[in-house]
Structure 1
Amino acid sequence: MVSADNLNLDVLELIFAYLSGHDLTCVGLVSRSFLAGAIPTLYRNIVYRLREAKAYDTIMSPFAVLLSHKGLSKHVRTIDLQAIPRTNHLKIRPQPHSGFMRDCRKAIELCDSLHTFRCTESNVVPAFLMALQNKPNLQQIRLHGSLTPEQTKLLVNLNSGLTEVFLEYASWNVVDALPKWTAGLHRSLQSLVLYRTEELNEGTLESILKELPELKGLHVIQCPRVDQATVLNLVSHTPALEALSFTTMENGKPIGTIPPLPSLQHLALDARYHKTPSPTPAILMTLLDNLKASAPTLSSFSIKLPERKITIPPTFIDRLIEVYGTFLKKLSFLDCEVELVSIEKIAEECSFLERLDVSIPIRDVYAFASTLGSAENLHTLVDVESHVAHGVHPSLNLEMVEYLMESVPSLRKVVSGRRVWVPEGIAEDFDGTVRLDRRLPYRSRPSWFLPATTM
């Protein structure tokens, strides 16, 4: 008799790869064969969050499990440390829990197939640098970069085949080593992110980019000594860029002619507002005008403002649509409001728009839905986590989502907070009924400026 329990292990692994979270855990409890099929997916991505860190004394950590069952380490591809358990002693400042740090370090040493390592907690990265050595499959890292000269030597000694490097708060030691390090990565490195790096200056950034002519993604965010004009001037060294992000500063140098970026598809702007009135709107308009000839087929655009009460000027939306409306497939407006008249124009003139991330006005959700009715290819709508002047931005409910999907026939997914709503049944037979498809897992701090990934 054939049953699910008799399926080949390879088949079970393929099936269980579509599950996650509690569903995958529950499946592993059904039988021994189901557990064997679920284990590769269960341990492929180890994400250690704040809730696990708070419960460290009562729940066994996944790293302690790996040390108890060393054979499981062969399945680990990603380790993402979003939080670290800390001591809670009244007489001393909380410190990283020594037992956890020991287990985590030893577990990393066992994971020979490690592909991605992320740790943005300050003061703990140095403890893992030695364990990350000799990892031939390591390709992606995201680290808090405040390191001493000795620790920096260990960092630049990591696998020479790294494809993505994301550094936060990099110290002068790391910044000083970047040109030489990236020179050794010039054959493999595809994406470089430098986030909140105060020591980065124009000369160092130029030295870095000269070594990376084939770089596909460059993201320089909130580095106060590097303004928009500097970044746009230096991308002449990286003509193959497909994704670019940077911060626009009010006191930056004037934007001149932008070097050709024929492959650029994704642009993200971290717009700064401090002065009143601010020159930022004029800077953004100038940027769009100059980009038109440099990157003629931009398909993804994101912008983030520093104050949630700011409304994107309709004139900027009009210019964005005029320049890129026929190419845009994804638009994202973060920490700001977009007027309904602008939403309507986006829906009407961005005929290829597939995804829109925007703060949905809950009080005017029905009017908002009506303005989106002409969006023929919009399949994903994301209600971004924003705030309004008088409190927290409320979430969409079932009735609102159903009205949105009735108003926008092409809409197949609505994301609100961690909830993902989809139509009931197949698209051709949609009867207006919507169901909660799943809840998104907790992830590391979102990097809004990177190209969107599938939810």
Structure 2
Amino acid sequence: MVSVSSVNLDVLELIFAYLSGNDLASIALVSRSFFAGVIPRLYSTLLFRASHSKRYPAVISPFAAIAAHPELAIHVRHVDIREIPNVKSHYNPKFLLECRRALEMCPNITSFRCSKNTVPPLIGALEKQDRLHDLRINASLTTDQSIKIIKLSKIRNLTLDFASWNLMNLLPQWTGTLRSNLITLTLFMANELNETVLGAALAELPGLLGLHIVGCAKVDHAAIFRLVTHTPLLESLSLTTGEASRPLSQPPSSLACLRNLAIDTRLTPVGPMHPPSTSALSAILTYINASSPRLVSFIVKYPDRQMAIPNSLIQQLITAHAPTLRNLSFIDCALGTTDSLTALCRACTQLERLEIWIPVRDLTIFTVAISRSSTLRTLVGVGAHTHSPGPSLAQDSVRVMMMGVPSLQKVVAGEGRIWTRRKDPRGHLAIGLERRPNHVAAIHWFMPRE
């Protein structure tokens, strides 16, 4: 007879890989065998977010737990700091000390993420991480701090948020060091970044696969298209639009490998009585189509939730990319008409994930439109598109959509609700509900969806 203690430890670790959160902690209390099998998974990620910060120091931080039990440090692979406790409007120095000590003790960290401007006290510990491959930080650093951070020479995926001019001036030097490693470069809200510096940095990265330059005031879509001549292998591209009249480089840069495109639109009114022009979006689609890329995902974000994507743009997207699109995201905007949604769902024969505003009041018409897709598996609601709160998605509404769209397996709604298709004992449709707390997103909105 097989007992828990006789199950191979490797098998237990594979089983526990499907669990997360409090389930892991509960499993660790079952038996010594379960404890040994769950520990690598339980301490693989040190996550600290707002809910933890509110209870600190009454509840011990995961970094203090590592300091108290050094034998656990070997299991840590990922560090994700999304919030920092405060003391009298200042970051808690005790917490930062715990973080630094834990980082120094963990030899196998492969990814580090810190959303807050607290990286400087941790730079010394990061320099010792020989296996660090993924880095995302708030990069508002001084010159001395920037000189230290660019010593990290094994980064494969680099994300710099709110980077200062001190670090941007050193970016070409850093990318030169990372030339053989770096595959994804993301610069978000780097207001001091200019075309000259970015061009020098990209010249060092001919093998780059992902480039995401969003919210950088001095580098718009026209500048990006002039610079991607340095990166012919790009598979993912995110950019912010500028003035529609800005000329694009000719002949068009080769983007034949492009699979994921995200556009952050910054639209300006044509006149006091006319809506903002979307000609920049149309120009971008026309420009990339010259390379005949096979887009798998397309993401667009508008600056105003009350704006709609014109039917002409939807038709342009369908004409060029309908056969290959699997993921579509329309953030802070709506489609011009229901006919546009119907046409998209009918034409995109491989569509699996749709991120869009779900009009609860017109759910029947919406369901008919998305039922034109026989491959749609995941529907993500991105919130109401008016300033007044609307009705929330309920279980009955989800049932209507799943009955109308047989392929639909999951509906992700607001307030951390995830509805999934299930079957009751008689084989009839049942709707399961999972609630997850709303946390700061682990990735930027423009990054390719899994």
For normalisation by structure 2, the TM-score amounts to 0.94
1: CA distance, partners of 2:432 / 2:107 = 41
Counterpart amino acid of 1:448? Answer: W
Q: Name the CA shift for 1:407/1:248 in 2 (closer, same or farther; >3 Å).
A: same
Mean Cα deviation higher: 269-278 or 139-148: 269-278
Distance in 2 (alpha carbons) for counterparts of 1:40 and 1:442: 24
Kindly state the Cα deviation for residue 71 of structure 1 after the two structures are TM-superposed.
Answer: 1.0
1:220 to 181, 200, 213: 213
Q: Secondary structure at the match of 1:411?
A: coil
CA contact (8 A) 1:21 1:441 kept: no
The Cα shift of 1:252 comes to: 6.3
Aligned partner of 1:101 in structure 2 is 96
> For the structure 1 residues 424 and 9, does the alpha-carbon distance in structure 2 shift closer, same or farther, using more than 3 Å as the test?
same
CA contact (8 A) 1:138 1:161 kept: yes
Structure 1 residues 446 and 164: CA distance shift in structure 2, 3 A: closer
Displacement, 1:440?
Answer: 6.8
Asked if 1 retains the 8 angstrom alpha-carbon contact of 2:259 and 2:293, the reply is no
Alignment correspondent of 2:11: 11
Which structure 2 residues correspond to residues 304-343 of structure 1 after superposition, within 5 A?
304-338=301-335, 339-343=337-341
Paired AA for residue 351 in structure 1:
T
* Contact residue 376 and residue 410 of structure 1 kept, 8 A: yes
Distance 1:252 1:33, change over 3 A: farther
Given residue 315 of structure 1, which amino acid in structure 2 is its aligned partner? S
Q: 2:413 aligns with which of 411, 416, 428?
A: 416
Q: CA deviation at 1:396?
A: 2.0
Which residue is equivalent to 2:125? 131
Q: Distance in 1 between matches of 2:419 and 2:292?
A: 35
Alignment CA distance shift 1:40-1:312 (3 Å) = same
**Partner residue of 1:116 out of 81, 91, 111:** 111
CA 1:233–1:71: 2 relative to 1, 3 Å = same
Task: Give me the whole-angstrom Cα distance separating, in 2, the residues matched to 1:2 and 1:443.
Answer: 43
Where do residues 235-250 of structure 1 align in structure 2 (5 Å cutoff)? Answer: 235-250=228-243
CA distance in structure 2 between the aligned counterparts of 1:386 and 1:139, rounded to whole angstroms: 38
Match of 1:254 in 2: 247
Alignment of 1:370-385 (within 5 A): 370-385=368-383
TM, length-normalised to structure 1:
0.93
Q: What 5-or-longer segments of structure 2 have no aligned partner?
A: none
* 1:364 corresponds to 2:357: no
* Structure 1 residue 322, shift from structure 2 partner: 1.3
Query: For 2:223 and 2:342, how far apart are their aligned partners in 1?
Result: 35
Q: Which residue of 2 aligns with 1:452?
A: 449
Residues 46 and 78 of structure 2 are in contact (CA less than 8 Å); yes or no, is this contact kept in structure 1?
Answer: yes
Residue identity in the other structure for 1:105: R
Work out whether residues 250 and 279 of structure 1, in 8 Å CA contact, stay in contact via their aligned partners in 2. Answer: no
| Offset of residue 153 of structure 1 | 1.3
Shift of residue 28, structure 1, vs aligned partner: 1.6
Superposed CA deviations along residues 402-426 of structure 1, whole A, max 9, x for unmatched, are 1111111111221113222221149
The number of residue pairs the alignment matches comes to 443
1:91 is aligned to: none
Task: Answer whether contact 2:210 2:237 (CA < 8 A) is retained.
Answer: yes
User: 1:260·1:295 contact (CA, 8 Å) conserved in 2?
Assistant: no
Question: What residue in structure 2 maps to residue 25 of structure 1?
Answer: 25
Distance 2:174 2:315 in 1: 43
Q: SS of the residue aligned with 1:388? A: coil
Do 1:267 and 1:298's aligned partners in 2 also have CA atoms closer than 8 Å?
yes
Quick one: which amino acid aligns to residue 106 of structure 1?
A: R
Structure 1 runs of 4+ off > 6 angstroms? none
The two structures, once aligned, show a CA RMSD in angstroms of: 1.8
Distance 1:233 1:395 in 2: 44
Q: Is 1:287 aligned with 2:280?
A: no
Deviation string, structure 1 residues 208-240 (Cα, Å, up to 9, x no partner): 110000000000001111111110111011000
- Aligned equivalent of 1:266: 260
Are residue 67 (structure 1) and residue 64 (structure 2) matched?
no
1:155 to 149, 164, 177: 149
- State, as a whole percentage, how many aligned pairs show the same letter: 40
State the 1:31 CA deviation. Answer: 2.0
* 1:442 correspondence with 2:439: yes
